């Protein structure tokens, strides 16, 4: 296990670029929001300075309205499409002047990342001092969401692009693509020069991805206009669980710091409202788990993915719901031939075990599920998620995602996408400590 830890540290150190980390070489040559946060958790175990620098750089790219972009383009790399030329025209008037960035965001992990840095730190006083210098920026980011991304004032935040979900080409979005009449663009993909096309989204999916951004650009990334016009507008259980967990962490940290009663009271207000709406609107009694809601077409999207179980992490379900989710996970995702946890329901005809977010196991989701299950006292299943995570990395290396079918791992490589992938290394370090 020592050897694996050593390799994980090497992956992180090799992907470190002075002030931030890339997710992996070639395929993802810039800084990504949720990658960055999760990477900091790994660094915190052996190099707190890098963990802090990672977060400082991320927050330095925050816009004037509190928004944090999903990609910060620190360099002009041409190994990625769509790069800065595509994203950065017509940016919002409050966009960062200092960094080029996209105009979409990602699951807001920063709040719970800060709490994890504090948990891991061996010098709690110094770490709390660091947290004091950045925490208000994270609060400001949450305020941005509640003020600008919740048009019906429900306490549930919308995402306007599948890239905001983090689960880019999940089958969850398939029915939304059918409602759109996206043009056929001509462009040169770069991802498929680094990774086998069978492991990546299709050309037609990319047309949809670009079309939504074109609409946002025509409207200078105005949140109001996007809420009115974007064909993709979704309340995502993973995104909202991450935000709610981060709210919980901010409350805990502000309490530790003292003297922040107003912010704590506001965060608690958001929590009460969000958790209630989340339970009222996103739990599907028949399916026994949480699902996505299509806000543009006003209908639930009734499929189960690994995102359906993320509410454990944010302490959202009551005991009965938590138990029903465990049953669904074990019945559908947890057969003896499966590693936990496939990103999409393996019993669905939409399951595709090699294709990015349409089936493979992802380490970030496993880490979220492991911690969520532990919070509810499901220690045995949590342990299985942890051991499965260690096994697939030990067998294949630090890939971006992995086949969930055990037999595939017996016949050679079953790791897909980018290799030497930062958050796979970072979160393994955390699981092993």
Least Cα distance to 243 among 361, 94, 373, 368 occurs for 368
**CB of 102 vs ligand DGY, minimal distance in Å:** 8
Q: Which residue has the tokens 């309490």?
A: 255
Residue 168 is among the residues annotated as catalytic for this protein: yes
| Cα of 334 vs its chain's centroid, Å | 22
Residue number with CB closer to ligand DGY (45 or 190): 190
Residue number with CB closer to ligand DGY (168 or 174): 168
Q: Where are the alpha helices (DSSP H) in 219-353?
A: 223-229, 237-257, 261-282, 319-328
Residue number with CB closer to ligand DGY (185 or 337): 185
Task: Build a one-symbol-per-residue string for 204-243: x at contacts with ligand DGY by CB under 6 A, - elsewhere.
Answer: ----------------------------------------
Tell me which H or E stretch contains 4: helix 2-14
**CB of 374 vs ligand DGY, minimal distance in Å:** 28
**CB of 427 vs ligand DGY, minimal distance in Å:** 17
| Cα of 112 vs its chain's centroid, Å | 12
- Residue 416 as a binder of ligand DGY (CB under 6 A): the answer is no
Least Cα distance to 107 among 25, 36, 31, 15 occurs for 36
- Site size for ligand DGY (CB under 6 A): 4
**CB of 169 vs ligand DGY, minimal distance in Å:** 8
Residue number with CB closer to ligand DGY (115 or 191): 191
- Footprint of ligand DGY on 137-166 (CB under 6 A): 163
What string of DSSP letters covers 182-225?
--------SHHHHS-GGGS--HHHHHHHHHHHHHHHHTTT-HHH
Residue 298 is among the residues annotated as catalytic for this protein: no
Q: What angle do CA 426, 252, 72 make, to 5 degrees?
A: 45
Q: Where are the alpha helices (DSSP H) in 79-123?
A: 84-87, 110-120
**CB of 168 vs ligand DGY, minimal distance in Å:** 5
**CB of 82 vs ligand DGY, minimal distance in Å:** 8
Give the whole-angstrom CA distance, residue 67 versus residue 179.
Answer: 28
Residue number with CB closer to ligand DGY (338 or 364): 364
- Residue 168 as a binder of ligand DGY (CB under 6 A): the answer is yes
Q: Shortest Cβ contact with ligand DGY: which residue?
A: 163
**Could you give the 3-state DSSP secondary structure of residue 32?**
strand
Question: Using only C-alpha atoms, what is the Rg of the chain?
Answer: 20
Residue number with CB closer to ligand DGY (30 or 312): 30
Backbone angles phi, psi at 415, to 5 degrees: -100, 140
Residue 123: CB partners within 8 Å, gap ≥ 6?
48
Task: Build a one-symbol-per-residue string for 248-267: x at contacts with ligand DGY by CB under 6 A, - elsewhere.
Answer: --------------------
The active-site residue, picked from 168, 174, 175, 207, is 168
- Footprint of ligand DGY on 27-56 (CB under 6 A): none
Least Cα distance to 426 among 51, 116, 40, 50 occurs for 40
Task: Build a one-symbol-per-residue string for 63-102: x at contacts with ligand DGY by CB under 6 A, - elsewhere.
Answer: -------x--------------------------------
Residues in contact with ligand DGY by CB under 6 A are: 70, 163, 168, 191
Residues annotated as catalytic (active site), given as ranges: 168, 400
């Amino acid at each position: 296990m020592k050897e694996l830890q050593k390799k994980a540290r090497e992956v992180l150190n090799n992907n470190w670029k002075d002030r931030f980390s890339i997710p992996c070489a070639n395929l993802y040559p810039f800084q990504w929001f949720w990658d960055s946060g999760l990477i900091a958790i790994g660094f915190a175990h052996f190099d707190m300075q890098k963990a802090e620098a990672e977060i400082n750089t991320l927050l330095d790219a925050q816009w004037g309205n509190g928004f944090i972009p999903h990609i910060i383009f620190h360099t002009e790399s041409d190994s990625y499409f769509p790069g800065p030329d595509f994203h950065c025209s017509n940016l919002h008037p409050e966009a960062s002047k200092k960094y080029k960035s996209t105009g979409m965001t990602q699951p807001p992990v920063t709040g719970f990342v800060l709490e994890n840095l504090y948990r891991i730190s061996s010098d709690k006083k110094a770490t709390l001092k660091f947290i004091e210098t950045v925490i208000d920026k994270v609060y400001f980011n949450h305020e941005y969401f509640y003020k600008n991304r919740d048009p019906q004032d429900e306490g549930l935040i919308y995402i306007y692009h599948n890239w905001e979900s983090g689960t880019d080409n999940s089958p969850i979005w398939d029915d939304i693509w059918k409602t759109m009449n996206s043009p056929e663009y001509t462009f040169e993909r770069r991802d498929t020069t680094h990774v086998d096309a069978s492991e990546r989204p299709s050309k037609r999916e990319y047309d949809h991805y670009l079309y939504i951004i074109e609409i946002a650009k025509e409207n200078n990334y105005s949140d109001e206009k996007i809420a009115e016009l974007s064909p993709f507008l979704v309340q995502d259980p993973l995104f909202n669980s991450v935000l709610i967990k981060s709210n919980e962490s901010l409350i805990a940290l502000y309490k530790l710091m003292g003297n922040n009663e107003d912010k704590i009271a506001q965060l608690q207000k958001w929590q009460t409202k969000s958790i209630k709406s989340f339970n009222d609107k996103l739990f599907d009694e028949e399916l026994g788990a949480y699902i996505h809601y299509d806000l543009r077409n006003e209908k639930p999207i009734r499929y189960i993915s690994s995102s359906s179980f993320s509410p454990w992490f944010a302490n959202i379900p009551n005991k009965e719901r938590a138990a029903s989710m465990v049953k669904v996970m074990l019945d559908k995702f947890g057969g003896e031939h499966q590693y936990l946890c496939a990103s999409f329901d393996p019993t669905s005809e939409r399951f595709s075990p090699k294709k990015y977010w349409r089936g493979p196991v992802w380490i970030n989701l496993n880490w979220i599920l492991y911690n969520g299950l532990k919070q509810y006292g499901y220690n045995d299943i949590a342990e299985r998620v942890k051991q499965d995570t260690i096994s697939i990395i030990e067998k294949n290396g630090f890939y971006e995602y992995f086949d969930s079918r055990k037999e595939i791992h017996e016949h050679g490589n079953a790791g897909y996408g980018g290799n030497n992938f930062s958050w796979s290394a970072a979160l393994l370090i955390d699981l092993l400590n």
